[in-house]
Structure 1
Amino acid sequence: MSEAFSPGDRPLHVVACAHGTDNPTGRQLINALRADLATQLAAEGLHAVVHEAYVDVQEPGLESVLTALPAGEPSIVAPLLLSEGFHTSVDIANAVATRSHTSSSAPLGPDPRLATVLAARLTEAGYQPGDAVVLAAAGTRIQAGAAQAAAMAELLATELGQEVSIAYCSAATPAVPDAVAAARAAGATRVGIAAFLLAPGFFHDRLATTGADYVSETLLPSLTIAKCVATRLADARESVCEDAE
């Protein structure tokens, strides 16, 4: 088993790869997450350099970042994404496959810590016990990602002590407006949306038009998110360190 890197070792390059957004606040929050992650990794005694990268909308692109890294030095792509989807299974997987000494960590969810943040955001938005709650995920056609989103809804249900339904902003069903309408048809007086989204952007803007009584803010800003990324990195670190030996 490899030990964690010490300051005298070659650094571990952590490529913190987000989707990308045109939303200025969303960009600021993702950048702040990277800074929080660097602080978290340093507190854990890890000799790491955190790099910026994206799979869509923004630059620098993931492949160009990986290409520019020093040859032979270990790297892990850390998806700043909440579940498996096209970007993890295709974009990130393909980019990692072309570079030696490189691996990727898992996306952030499902994780009970995310459920705690979601519950706090719902309360801030006006949630009251007994409200119908819809967890709104970005959406994917990939089965593993859909299963992870469903598991996240179950974790939030446990956190709230009530049922939580799952819905998607795109690519999967039910769509969020349909889930809100179904909750009202079932007799719900108030329906709230738990936004299972990292930062403000296109999908979060659309949630305001789905007919819910309130929509929670995104998961960021929260130091908990950086801790979740660090956990996923710790899970992936051993294999890339052994590969680099």
Structure 2
Amino acid sequence: MTTTLIACSHGTSDDAGRRAIQLLTSQVARLVPGIRVEQAFVDVEQPAVDDVVATAVRRGTAVVVPLLLSTGFHVKVDIARAVGRYPGRAVAADPLGPHPLITAVLEHRLASSGVRDDDAIVLAAAGSSDPAATVAVQEVARDLADKVGRHIDVGFAAGAGTPIEEAVAMARERSTGRVIVASYVLAPGFFAGRIASCGADIATEPLAPDVRVAGIVRSRFQASLATLNSAAA
């Protein structure tokens, strides 16, 4: 039987965003030789995750790895529904964050932006109505604060929590330097655009493509595959 790793992202109409996810998926494929790797989407783009899972389980087993940074509707409903139709044949992995490698990429993006000691930093996320997603972003902010040795404010482009523009304004009031936004989004697109235009002096690049993020996808896949195989034994 063939095992398929299904890299499931939100989907976007942004060409740069599509390229970033395609490149990330290619990086993942290089990290899991011998495993079939396919893309799927929960919105905007095709093929839909339901269809990709259905095809994959006809060949063998499927592990859907959400190319999403936090839990929320797409993880708990769309992806869960897609794999739930095939118990013992398909399973969903955890989303990508929080994870130490995510924190490492954020730290690297900040360093590449030329962040200075007197700059204020705001971690900017897409946002969600799911409280668990907000808690996860706060955890990432704490981890990043520990890494860079300074306070990190948090702002959201949508959903619950402090709006990005408000978080940036509050950080600017406290800072003697610039306000740098650490973009906690995976790829270019709508939310990356919102973050880039939030009034900060600098917004870092999205997280993908990056081989460290691809490594998280591999580890999420391996953990879920082990669970699937154990249940089948």
TM-score normalised to structure 1 length? 0.90
Matching residue within 63, 67, 70 for 2:50: 63
Matching residue within 82, 85, 90 for 1:95: 82
8 Å Cα contact 2:118/2:177 also seen in 1: no
Matching residue within 109, 124, 136 for 1:136: 124
Partners of 2:230 and 2:5 lie apart in 1 by 16
SS at match of 1:52: strand
Matches within 5 A, 1:153-192: 153-192=141-180
Structure 1 consecutive aligned stretches of length 4 or more whose deviation exceeds 3 Å:
none
8 Å Cα contact 2:20/2:208 also seen in 1: yes
Partners of 2:232 and 2:29 lie apart in 1 by 21
TM-score normalised to structure 2 length? 0.95
Cα deviation 1:157-205 (Å, max 9, x = unaligned): 1111111111111112201000001112234431110000111111111
Q: How many residues of Structure 1 are paired with residues of Structure 2 in the alignment?
A: 232
**Equivalent position amino acid for 2:14 in 1:** N
Partners of 1:212 and 1:160 lie apart in 2 by 19
How big is the shift at 1:72? 6.6
Matches within 5 A, 1:108-147: 108-147=96-135
**Equivalent position amino acid for 2:106 in 1:** L
Partners of 2:92 and 2:137 lie apart in 1 by 20
Partners of 2:117 and 2:175 lie apart in 1 by 15
How much is the aligned-residue C-alpha RMSD, in angstroms?
1.4
Q: Which residue of 2 aligns with 1:4?
A: none
SS at match of 1:69: helix
Q: Provide structure 2 residue ranges, at least 5 long, that are not aligned to the other structure.
A: none
Matching residue within 14, 21, 31 for 1:30: 21
SS at match of 1:212: coil
Matches within 5 A, 1:35-54: 35-42=26-33, 47-54=34-41
Q: Provide structure 1 residue ranges, at least 5 long, that are not aligned to the other structure.
A: 1-9
**Equivalent position amino acid for 1:11 in 2:** T
Partners of 2:29 and 2:120 lie apart in 1 by 38
8 Å Cα contact 1:125/1:214 also seen in 2: yes
Cα deviation 1:69-112 (Å, max 9, x = unaligned): 24371111010011111110111111111123110100111111
